[in-house]
Amino acid sequence: MPSDSIKRRVTVKPCEHPSELARAAAILHYFGGEADQAWLDRWLRFFELERMHAAYDGSPPDAAIVGGAGAFSFELTIPGGAVRAAGVTVVGVLPTHRRRGVLHALMRAQLDDVRSRGEPVACLWASEETIYVRYGYGLAVSGLEMSLARGDSAFRGRFEPIGQTRLVARGEALALLPEVYDRARRQTPGMLARSPAWWEHRRLADLPERRGGGGPLQHVVLEVDGQIDAYALYRMHFKIEHGSPCGKVEVLEAVGATPEATRSIWRYLLDIDWTARIEAAALPTDHVLRTLLASPRRAGFRLHDTLFVRLVDVGAALSARSYGAAESVVLDVRDDFCEHNRGRWRIGTDGVRRVDGDADLALDVSTLASLYLGGFGAFELARAGQIEERTEGAIARADALFRTDRAPWCPEIF
């Protein structure tokens, strides 16, 4: 039973030494691993040590570290622009100290730190979706899983792929892929900027223990008129049964900077010989294959959660995005964990500002996060009882203001 005494004993502070990071990475216990020297050396190439908060049972230096929560310094694409965002990661509390308020203390310290750094937004992938809403996070981006038999992969109508595909080695991938990704990233809410270190030590790391029985990471690029317009990262899982190939292509990421290039790189992935299936996850919900396949039902598309967002500074976060043409609305925002956000905010194409007076709509800050990237509409959130309409017609105005022309997409777990 959690007691006040343990709550009083827990102190949280940023790590100063790699050995603290190793102990604060309590989440590795659950992965069945440990933060050995190789893990630390790799992590410190793309992670800032001081962005790891460690939870101590007792007061340092005599206390034991029993959990931790980290954050990457990201830039997140939002409708009409981008914001600095904390990418929350490696959140874990040792099983010896669970349900005693350690996570609560970590979230408090981390969100205060994010705010003091001037990052208007925090975001994360949740292992369990019910944990983070109490801290103001809301599901902002959904993804699709797909498992398609190669024999069912025909496109509807005639299709002429463009450009020329080319398999490249890791070094060339490191040189070519970031530019294509960046072009796509700037057009797509939910995508995160990647540093050179991220590309080298995360996205293209290809650790043998992460291959899941498949072959090495393959990198293919699509060149159109002398420019690389799309790429894909995938793994072959070779298997033969009764003389027939029954392996699969596991698509880890396929990104196109133009719609034509996106269609063509997918045709390449669906046509690889000696495979029976093509599997992918975390595809955007408006993925082109949903309307391009002759039999989309055979792809077995399945919805799943991807990115949760927390508006740490509601005013700055809302001011940074663009809005659809509609009359303004006044939102009454509840925020039990970050009280500075509480109050009434007027949102319009002419800007965002705090106001006095009556509100048109009332909602929790976690629901506002679901609206923020265009991943959920005001009508659907209102039908779920998440938005209270105080002025008739205000849901329609909010829906038009926040709606976007493409679904947000977060292709990579972090």
Ligand X SMILES: CC(C)(COP(=O)(O)OP(=O)(O)OC[C@H]1O[C@@H](n2cnc3c(N)ncnc32)[C@H](O)[C@@H]1OP(=O)(O)O)[C@@H](O)C(=O)NCCC(=O)NCCS
Active site residues: 132, 414
Q: Is 309 in the site for ligand X (CB under 6 A)?
A: no
Please identify, using beta-carbon distances, which residue of 103 and 144 lies nearer to ligand X: 103
The residue of the chain with the least Cβ separation from ligand X equals: 103
Q: Is 340 in the site for ligand X (CB under 6 A)?
A: no
**CB 190, min distance to ligand X, A:** 18
Q: Is 123 in the site for ligand X (CB under 6 A)?
A: no
Please identify, using beta-carbon distances, which residue of 112 and 223 lies nearer to ligand X: 112
Nearest to 44 by CA among 210, 197, 195, 159: 197
Burial of 256 (C-beta count, 10 Å sphere; 0-12/13-18/19+): buried
Q: Is 96 in the site for ligand X (CB under 6 A)?
A: no
Interatomic CA distance for residues 289 and 277, integer angstroms: 15
- The DSSP symbol for 288 reads T
**CB 7, min distance to ligand X, A:** 9
Pairing of strands 277-283, 142-149: antiparallel
CA dist 93 → 21, 34, 228, 414 (Å): 13, 14, 44, 18
Residues within window 124-153 making contact with ligand X, judged by CB under 6 A: 126-128, 130-131, 134
* Residues 107, 310 contacting (CB under 8 angstroms): no
Among 92, 178, 256, 375, binds ligand X (CB under 6 A): 92
Q: Is 34 in the site for ligand X (CB under 6 A)?
A: no
Q: Is 371 in the site for ligand X (CB under 6 A)?
A: no
**CB 158, min distance to ligand X, A:** 46
Interatomic CA distance for residues 333 and 234, integer angstroms: 43
Among 34, 36, 81, 98, binds ligand X (CB under 6 A): 98
Interatomic CA distance for residues 37 and 270, integer angstroms: 40
Q: Is 100 in the site for ligand X (CB under 6 A)?
A: yes
Paired residues of 273 in beta bridges: none
Tokens linked to 399 = 């829906």
Q: Is 10 in the site for ligand X (CB under 6 A)?
A: no
E strand spans, 126-198:
138-139, 142-149, 164-168
Interatomic CA distance for residues 252 and 232, integer angstroms: 8
Please identify, using beta-carbon distances, which residue of 99 and 340 lies nearer to ligand X: 99
**CB 383, min distance to ligand X, A:** 25
Coil, strand or helix: which one is 310? Answer: strand
Tokens linked to 47 = 């992670």
Please identify, using beta-carbon distances, which residue of 30 and 159 lies nearer to ligand X: 30
Q: Is 108 in the site for ligand X (CB under 6 A)?
A: no
Q: Is 378 in the site for ligand X (CB under 6 A)?
A: no
Q: Is 7 in the site for ligand X (CB under 6 A)?
A: no
Please identify, using beta-carbon distances, which residue of 79 and 101 lies nearer to ligand X: 101
The number of beta carbons lying within 10 Å of the beta carbon of residue 129 is 13
Interatomic CA distance for residues 312 and 331, integer angstroms: 16
Please identify, using beta-carbon distances, which residue of 104 and 353 lies nearer to ligand X: 104
Tokens linked to 142 = 């959904």
Window of 76-84, 121-129, 184-192, 328-336 that interacts with ligand X by CB under 6 A = 121-129
What residue ranges bind ligand X (CB under 6 A)? 27, 30, 91-93, 98-104, 126-128, 130-131, 134
